[in-house]
Amino acid sequence: MIVQPTNKFKTTIISIRFKEKITKENVGLRALLPNLMSASTNKYKTRKALTEALEALYGATLNVRTTKLGLVSIMDFSISFINQSFTAEPVFEEALEILHEVVYGHKNLPKKEFDLEKRLLLEKIASFENDKTSFALSNMIETMFENETYAIRTSGKKEDVEPITFEELNKYYKKCLKNNEIDVVVSGQVDDSLLEVVSKYFTPRNLKNLTLIDYEDKKVEALKNKTDFDTISQSKVNIGYRFPVRYKETDQIPALLFNTALGGGVHSKLFLNVREKHSLCYYIASRFEPFKGFLYIYAGIDKQRVDLALKVIDEQVLDLQTNLLSEDELNLSKDAIINQLKESQDSQGASLSSLYLQVLLDNKLTLDEQIERVSKVTPKEVLEVAQKLQKDTLYILAPEVK
């Protein structure tokens, strides 16, 4: 059991997380399954009945979702409710009963809700494609990581979900209960007696056979260059770079600082030079993914200015690969990361996510130790890690030619 005992927040969060390696075969199933499990149970025959039970528990909330950490798909069933210390009523155990019912309260999944939940998921997938910024980024990732696990979209695609039958999903539900690794995660004002109550309802299952970090690498032989067209007013430009630095490696913190200096904030080179100085884009930023070892830049650019913007972007990357950051630039990047670390502790959800990731990666550093590591990075270390960056893919979602 993963426990965050804290008096900082007024709520308790209990989360049950089913883990399995993400595959093309299970991605649609895992996207649909939590929705159907929470639509109806043996006790709560309708979603409305479940909602009323939550409202009676001082407005408790239930969240179900499927996410990805590296190579692992996580189905997360989470309930948030007021801390037991605020009331004499047994809210803690009542919340556990509701969560247990959602997870285990199915002899079989509710067949009558299957078609509706499947249709709603397909509508959600279609709406994702209407968010052109996210859609373009997803297409870049699929292009860059073709035939690699990382290319699989967590929410599934139309072709992943449409063929699913009720019988297949029901069978998969029972398989997950039997075989998935299970994490039980608790945050709030909890003592040993309350944790004993949790143990009566949920049992962790850690088989230690899952690898989160994706070490699959491919040598960049030539730049992949792809352009698609859509009914949009500005080009969505996405550039993917192989950046072979992963969690817990020596270069991780310098790589994080490199990304922050490149496009991770309002002080970054991309923001100051591409957006502010040259007014070449509507938005621009970069992100570093240490689960996979890659970095990407995404921007919205007027279609007539794409070539010039790409030239200036290349200049900013090259500058960081050939010149030392100034102390001011490095300190601004350090401050940005340190502030993010501190701010994450002000949100129960964010602090719990941070703790969960630390446990999964066996990272025992305290907040102060993490801040100290960031503070000690030198300009030379950032320069050295910057030289590992290799441009792999340019993907553009461009306005249709009229």
Task: Pick the more confident residue, 402 or 309.
Answer: 309
Residue 402 has pLDDT above 80, yes or no: no
Confidence of residue 112 (pLDDT cuts 50, 70, 90): very high
Say if 214 falls within a structural domain: no
Residue 324 within any structural domain of the chain: yes
Q: What pLDDT does 209 receive?
A: 78
Q: Are 229 and 175 members of one domain?
A: no
Confidence of residue 253 (pLDDT cuts 50, 70, 90): very high
Q: What is the pLDDT of residue 312?
A: 95
Q: Which pLDDT score is estimated for 130?
A: 87
Whether 282 and 178 map to the same domain: the answer is no
Would you state the pLDDT for residue 351? 93
Tell me the pLDDT tens digit for each residue of 53-70.
999 999 999 999 999 999
Instruction: Look at residue 148 and tell me if it is in a domain.
Output: yes
Mean pLDDT, all residues of the chain:
94
pLDDT at 95 over 90: yes
145 and 65 belong to one structural domain: yes
The per-residue pLDDT for 81 is 95
Same domain as 338, residue 252: yes
Average pLDDT of span 77-93: 91
Same domain, 272 and 151: no
Question: 0.85 cut: is pTM over it?
Answer: yes
Domain of 258? 224-399
The residue that leads in pLDDT, 216 or 334, is 334
Over pLDDT 70: what percentage of the chain? 100
Residues 130 and 24 in one domain: yes
Q: What pLDDT sits at residue 154? A: 87
pLDDT range class, residue 224, cuts 50, 70, 90:
very high
* Average pLDDT of span 302-311: 94
pLDDT tens digits, residue range 317-343?
999 999 999 999 999 999 999 999 999
Residue 202 has pLDDT above 90, yes or no: yes
Of the pLDDT bands very low, low, confident and very high (cuts 50, 70, 90), residue 265 is: confident
The answer to whether residue 217 sits within a structural domain is: no
Lowest mean pLDDT among 7-11, 90-94, 125-129, 132-136: 125-129
Residue range 279-305: mean pLDDT, rounded: 94
Mean pLDDT, residues 204-218: 88
Number of independent structural domains in the chain: 2
End-to-end CA distance of the chain: 59
**Per-residue confidence (pLDDT) for residue 89, from 0 to 100:** 87
Answer yes or no: is pLDDT of 88 > 90.
no
Identify the band that residue 121 occupies on the pLDDT scale cut at 50, 70 and 90.
very high
Q: How large is the average pLDDT for residues 373-377? A: 96
Residue 39: is its pLDDT beyond 80?
A: yes
Mean pLDDT of 366-387: 96
CATH number of the domain bearing residue 374: 3.30.830.10
Q: Residue 156's pLDDT is what?
A: 86
Q: Tell me: do 129 and 170 sit in the same domain.
A: yes
In a shared domain, residues 192 and 332: no
